[in-house]
Structure 1
Amino acid sequence: MSVGMALLLAVVAICVVVFLIERCKLNPFLALFLASMLLGFAAGMPASHVVSTFEKGAGQVLGQIASVIALGTMLGKMLEVSGGADRIAMTVVALAGPRRLDWAMMVIGLLVGLSVFFTVGFVVLVPLAFSIARQTKMPILHVALPVTAALSVVQGYMPPHPGTMFALAAYHADIGRLIWMGALVSLPAAIVAGPLYTRFIVPRLPADTGAAAAGAHGANTPPRDPASLPGFGITLFTILAPMVLMLAGSATRFMGPQAGAWVQVLRFAGDPNVGLALAALLSFWTLGLRRGMTREKVLACSNECLGPLAGLLLMIGAGGGFGAELMESGISDAIARAAVDMHVPLLVLAWGLAAGMRVAVGSATVAMSTTAGIVAPIMVHGSTISPELVVLATGAGAVMFGPMNDSGFWQVRDALGLSVPQTLRTWSVLETLIGVVGLAMCVLMQACGL
């Protein structure tokens, strides 16, 4: 297949996905499925091979990450219902004091965001932001924007969030390296988009921005009793447990195959599935049973949080199937050759494709999964760039712009009582800062040989 034809088919397939999602309002899973079928037929693949390729791609991706996402969701649910997020917020704010409140909210967002999806973290933490703003008499945006930025940063750069896990599997990255490299990217991105941008933009907005929402929330939301919340130390330990296990498991790869039995145990416990299963079980005890929650309540929480995952997992599986069609048809190989011939830096290519998809479809997860399907074959062609950096560059592109077709745009607007122009000046700009800083950090880390 010629490079021109391959590029044309890939562009048309992506346009079909965008059209079906945006214009026809189809579920992203169905849009990706239909686009994958059309792509396979257009590339000349036999009908039976088109279907089997999609099944293989979807099954491979879901086999690698479905259980990780489900277990991470259970851990996040326990953090939510137990009040662990409230405890972290209260403790960090008390330690930081009112002068560093925006920095404290950024730390809260980073810690809580490790275990919960953006939507859940926003729903849990924004009421706390209203309460803290009311108690400290600070503008609500001064408190809410840093935590919102931090939640978005972790969603884009850190496992076990869905888009990151999809790209990790597609690029065959190491999860331990991704965690510490993701932390190196996340911190400056959160600082620039959080406290620094908040201090720049809040004085430039009308003084009463968000005041109506803050007043309405304060009238309807009673504060939680601190005595009913779990301790800060045990909550933090529970949140960080899976990260520590995965880092330890990754570190054992430097110890060789003849290492002792304890190394084998660490390798097993450091597997993402095992590490998150152990952390979920730990949360059932530390944040549930130990706090007086019944076994039935713990079971109900773990069952309840799995229901909303169905659509997300189907969408991720369809992204895997779409990528498999690109590879089996030869389209991705042709695109890889074209990218190599044009000398497009791989990090810039991944970032640009993900940013374009983000604007087109709104969803960061769809942007990451579609981009990974296109970029992954280039990794097979002998790329010397760290696959972990390609994951992070893809995540940086996927959070860009905060467009109006992203559900997060309207969630932030409605919760904080902003107008559309104000949401563009706050949410959309901080999302763009996260993506630009993320790419800059990836390029810097590549230059340093990481």
Structure 2
Amino acid sequence: MLDTVLNTLAVAKVIDGSQLWVETLRLLGKTPIALLITLIVSIVLLKNQRSYEQIEKICDSSLGPICAIVLVTGAGGMFGGVLRASGIGEVLASTLGHTGMPVIVAAFIISSALRVAQGSATVALTTTAALISPMVAADPSLSQMDLCFIVISIASGATVLAHVNDSGFWLVSRFLEIDTKTMLKTWTVQETLIGIVGFIIAYVGSIIF
């Protein structure tokens, strides 16, 4: 929360992001530091109820499952990284960006294609936004509501078809002990439905408003 909130305030020019106190608090909010603090606090709270030997045993027994999740999640993320480095995302986006279709539809398709190709929803979001922005700037007929619906369309496309090149897919799979086939039947279908429903709502909203 410290990292996200302070970064948002700094981007909005509410505070000076270069100040030492801001950078210090953002450092505490970084994921590794926040998790380390959580671990230390947990050990301190447990020491009143457990012996040091018991706490050590708890920590040792947790390493196996954690390492397995980190390893598989990292492998999935690396696969997505390889696809990004290959340039497939840029090729897909460039091809779909010149089809002449409505901006909101193009945004969804490009974002979906990038999501499927390289797995990262964040990369799909940012890349699609960069590619769509010239189209949006060139269309003066788009209202503020239209822009909101385009953003929702991009986010919806970046949600669909989460599969084996998505590190989050493996995180959920290993943490909940779900096999890959079942994940594809449940998680992938669920994410796809969320994305499609979101796009439909955005598209209908753009027509009505």
TM-score range, shorter chain: 0.5 to 0.7
1:88 deviation in Å? 1.5
Map of 1:428 onto structure 2? none
* Residues 81 and 74 (structure 1), Cα distance of their counterparts in 2 relative to 1, 3 Å cut: same
Map of 1:92 onto structure 2? 96
* Residues 163 and 37 (structure 1), Cα distance of their counterparts in 2 relative to 1, 3 Å cut: farther
- From 149, 160, 172, the equivalent of 2:156 is 149
Contact 2:97–2:131, Cα closer than 8 Å, also in 1: no
* Residues 142 and 166 (structure 1), Cα distance of their counterparts in 2 relative to 1, 3 Å cut: closer
1:177 and 2:182 are equivalent in the alignment? yes
Percent of pairs identical after alignment? 14
* Residues 149 and 135 (structure 1), Cα distance of their counterparts in 2 relative to 1, 3 Å cut: same
Contact 1:40–1:50, Cα closer than 8 Å, also in 2: yes
**Structure 2 residue identity aligned to 1:40:** L
Contact 2:108–2:154, Cα closer than 8 Å, also in 1: yes
Map of 1:186 onto structure 2? 191
1:165 and 2:167 are equivalent in the alignment? no
1:120 and 2:137 are equivalent in the alignment? no
* Residues 203 and 181 (structure 1), Cα distance of their counterparts in 2 relative to 1, 3 Å cut: same
The CA distance in 2 between the partners of 1:162 and 1:50, in whole Å, is 30
Q: Which runs of 5+ in 1 are unaligned?
A: 1-17, 205-450
Map of 2:39 onto structure 1? 33
**Structure 2 residue identity aligned to 1:56:** S
Map of 1:72 onto structure 2? 76
The CA distance in 2 between the partners of 1:46 and 1:79, in whole Å, is 48
* Residues 201 and 37 (structure 1), Cα distance of their counterparts in 2 relative to 1, 3 Å cut: farther
- Size of the aligned set, in residue pairs, is 180
* Residues 36 and 107 (structure 1), Cα distance of their counterparts in 2 relative to 1, 3 Å cut: farther
Contact 1:69–1:160, Cα closer than 8 Å, also in 2: no
**Structure 1 residue identity aligned to 2:155:** T
SS in 1 for 2:89: helix
SS in 2 for 1:48: helix
1:177 deviation in Å? 1.8
**Structure 1 residue identity aligned to 2:129:** V
1:174 deviation in Å? 0.9
Q: Which runs of 5+ in 2 are unaligned?
A: 6-24
Map of 1:342 onto structure 2? none
SS in 2 for 1:111: helix
Higher relative CO (CA 8 A, sep ≥ 6), structure 1 or 2?
A: 1
* Residues 53 and 119 (structure 1), Cα distance of their counterparts in 2 relative to 1, 3 Å cut: same
1:145 deviation in Å? 2.9
1:182 deviation in Å? 2.5
* Residues 61 and 111 (structure 1), Cα distance of their counterparts in 2 relative to 1, 3 Å cut: farther
The CA distance in 1 between the partners of 2:207 and 2:41, in whole Å, is 43
1:128 deviation in Å? 0.9
The CA distance in 2 between the partners of 1:72 and 1:202, in whole Å, is 38
* Residues 148 and 192 (structure 1), Cα distance of their counterparts in 2 relative to 1, 3 Å cut: same
Contact 2:104–2:149, Cα closer than 8 Å, also in 1: yes
Aligned residue runs from structure 1 range 26-425, under 5 A:
26=29, 27-42=33-48, 44-62=49-67, 64-94=68-98, 97-99=100-102, 101-114=103-116, 115-134=118-137, 139=142, 140-152=147-159, 158-197=163-202, 199-200=204-205
Q: TM-score, normalised by structure 2?
A: 0.64
* Residues 161 and 83 (structure 1), Cα distance of their counterparts in 2 relative to 1, 3 Å cut: closer
Q: Give the root-mean-square deviation of aligned CA atoms.
A: 3.6
* Residues 39 and 75 (structure 1), Cα distance of their counterparts in 2 relative to 1, 3 Å cut: same
Q: TM-score, normalised by structure 1?
A: 0.34
